[in-house]
Amino acid sequence: MKLNIRPIKENDYDDTLVGWWKDWGWDTPPDKSILPLNGTGGIIVSDGNIDICAGFLYKTNSKLAWVEWIVSNKQYKERKNRKLALELLIKSLTMMASSLGYKYCYSLIDSDFLNSTFENVGYKVGASYNKEMIKKLWE
C-alpha cells in the first residue's frame, strides 16, 4: 500500500464526497458553499487509484485553523489502511496549518473512532459539547 495525498478537485464534491457523507448516514451533506474554497480547500488521501478519505482546512484571521468535515470511503474495507490514511490526512492538514503560521488547530468530532485518530496524532480533548448550533441566514 502506498498512500498518496492530493488537493480536492472541483468535481470531487459531487462525484465522491457527497456519496461518502450519505454512506455514513448524513441526510444532508455540508453544502459546498460552507466548505473552504467552495469545496476545494482540502485534501484527499488515496491508496493507488482508490480514494480513502478527505478533509478540509478552514483558515481564520487568528492563530487558530479548523480541521473539519473529515469523511471516508465506507466501501474501502481495509480497516488498518483506513486508519493510517486518516492519520496521514489529519497530520497533513495540521502541517498545512502550521506552515501557514497557525498556532492551534481545532476540530469538532462526533465519532469515537475519529476522536481516537485525532488523539493518536497529538490532539487533546477539549470541552464536550451537547449541541451544535447553526442557523441558515439566506438561500
What pLDDT digit, counting tens, does each position of 120-137 carry?
A: 999 998 877 667 777 777
Q: Measure the CA–CA gap between 107 and 73, rounded to whole angstroms.
A: 20
pLDDT at 134: 78
pTM higher than 0.85, yes or no? yes
Secondary structure element (H or E) that encloses residue 115, with its range: helix 112-120
pLDDT in tens, 28-86: 999 999 999 999 999 999 999 999 999 999 999 999 999 999 999 999 999 899 999 99
Cell readout for 17 is 464526497
Neighbours of 69 (CB within 10 A): 22
- Distance, in Å, from the CA atom of 4 to the CA atom of 106, rounded to the nearest integer, reads 24
More confident residue, 125 or 91: 91
Q: What is the pLDDT of residue 76?
A: 96
pLDDT of residue 19: 97
Q: Which of the pair, 23 or 135, is modelled with greater confidence?
A: 23
